[in-house]
């Protein structure tokens, strides 16, 4: 079994990565190191910068991600600033922002960066379209999960089991792409 370290202090992300990657044959461990998130407009730029920083610390065989909630009617706000916005105003603040808005479409996006010795860097992304509900629902997940309902679903992310969420979520989709890239690049090593 190949080992991958997940660079995160977020236990919710850690659990999603474990649930998504361990069935693919990876032993998942946590690497709790910090990188300075650059101020930029795209998740990909943040991830590329953090991967380079973690490599400079001397680590390899790791993955990390940056994810965000993008409100379509607000030019993608909060996007790359989702973590800060969640800590500042939370789900209740987003619900208040959209209080009288008929247009509630949104999407979650995720970019995963991976650095594997003898393979190099891999970057993949996933997106999950949906909408912002009128109330918080559910106790699972983390962040904006209680207010986000993926297209075609009746449950919010916070009402879904980890398995249900990983099948449709932005991070779950990106993990599947990562698995394909790892299989292609690593072969049967």
pLDDT tens digits for range 149-184: 999 999 999 999 999 999 999 999 999 999 888 888
Domain range for 47 is 2-186
Q: Helical H runs in the chain? A: 11-21, 43-56, 82-97, 162-168, 170-186
Dist. CA 173–CA 180, nearest whole Å: 11
Q: Which of 66, 145, 151, 188 is catalytic?
A: 66
Dist. CA 75–CA 56, nearest whole Å: 34
pTM, rounded to two decimals: 0.91
Question: Where does the pLDDT of residue 21 fall: very low under 50, low under 70, confident under 90, or very high at 90 and above?
Answer: confident
Average pLDDT estimate for 46-72? 95
In the chain, the number of structural domains is 1
Dist. CA 110–CA 169, nearest whole Å: 9
Does a cis peptide bond (omega within 30 degrees of 0) precede residue 124?
no
Three-state secondary structure call for residue 124: strand
Q: Helical H runs in 22-143? A: 43-56, 82-97
Query: 82: which residues sit within 8 A by CB, 6+ positions away?
Result: 67, 68, 69, 143, 144
Active site residue 66: yes
Report the CATH number that the domain containing residue 43 is assigned in CATH.
3.90.950.10
Dist. CA 152–CA 95, nearest whole Å: 21
Average pLDDT estimate for 45-60? 95
Query: Which neighbouring-strand residues pair with 116?
Result: 120
């Amino acid at each position: 079994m190949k080992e991958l370290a997940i660079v995160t202090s977020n236990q919710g992300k850690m659990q999603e990565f474990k649930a998504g990657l361990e069935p693919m044959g990876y032993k998942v461990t946590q690497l709790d190191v910090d990188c300075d998130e650059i101020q930029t407009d795209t998740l990909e730029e943040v991830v590329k910068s953090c991967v380079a920083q973690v490599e400079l610390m001397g680590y390899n065989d790791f993955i990390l991600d940056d994810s965000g909630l993008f409100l379509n009617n607000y030019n993608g706000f909060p996007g790359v600033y989702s973590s800060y916005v969640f800590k500042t105003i939370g789900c209740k603040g987003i619900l208040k922002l959209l209080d009288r808005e008929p247009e509630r479409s949104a999407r979650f996006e995720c970019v995963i960066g991976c650095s594997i010795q003898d393979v190099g860097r891999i970057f993949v992304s996933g997106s999950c379209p949906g909408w912002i509900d009128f109330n918080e629902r559910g106790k699972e997940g983390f962040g904006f999960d209680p207010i986000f309902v993926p297209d075609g679903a009746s449950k919010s992310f916070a009402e879904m089991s980890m398995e249900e969420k990983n099948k449709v979520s932005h991070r779950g989709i990106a993990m599947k792409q990562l698995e394909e890239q790892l299989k292609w690049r690593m072969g049967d090593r």
